[in-house]
Structure 1
Amino acid sequence: MHSSSVPTKDLSEIFIQEKIDSDVTQPNSTLIFPSNSHYSLPTRRYASFSFFPGGLPTNIEALVRSGFYYCGNGTRLQCYHCQVGVTNFHHVPSNEINVQHLRQFPTCRYAQLSLEENAARSTNNDNTCEWCF
């Protein structure tokens, strides 16, 4: 046997890095951030607001789309992905929710990807499929 002068990596190291690189782009990655999987479904997040004080918030669709669910305590909401808790987000304009979310927890990948998706949507003025452009 002769030794190789070419440096090599163990296959498991390559797989792990590829997995990390892939998961960084996924909003539901449990490898990057643990998430509350029960509320990973938008329908469950929406249903959590049924006991919100004063009825459903006017910006509920944006809150749900941004990953928030109602905790059952005052006006406290929580991101299912990064677990950051916020209050009074039901007063935040729909187009500002992810911006405020990132101010409080700048590393939330779900909020980052949501903000990027919203920006891409606003620049996509023709009828091109949002996923294909």
Structure 2
Amino acid sequence: MDRAAVARDLDALIDDGGAIVLASGGAPGDIEPPPWLEAIRTVRERYLGPERCADRGTYRHPAERHQDVLARAPFSRIETARWDRAITRTVDEVAGLQLSYSYSSPRQLGPDVKAFLSDVREALQSFEPSGVFEERVRTEVIRARRP
């Protein structure tokens, strides 16, 4: 997606005093990923390959932060708020969560969904026999307004 073009298009649509608001989990690398995520990645790559496929193509995180793109856009007054929290999940919750991602959705996995989930559960149990997985999660909200 051309984020700069979207911001320019929104400039014509949003009333004076309006804003663009983005909500996300923050930029990659802002929070150290939990160590057990590598076990899931290994299983996912075995089923789907190394590329993160989503719908009609592959996905890579943008190299440039949203704030940097918006700083050059008509909405260059930027405020960012972040909230971090710890989440504890079970093996089944972590495994099921994988199906909510576009790159490991049931559509991507096709007939391998059950086998994938079984292998994810097995990899997680091998990594952490207690079956309890803690993760620090971030919510980031960016509000961008015109100067």
TM-score w.r.t. the length of structure 1 is: 0.27
Is the helix fraction higher in 1 or 2?
A: 1
Is the strand fraction higher in 1 or 2?
A: 2
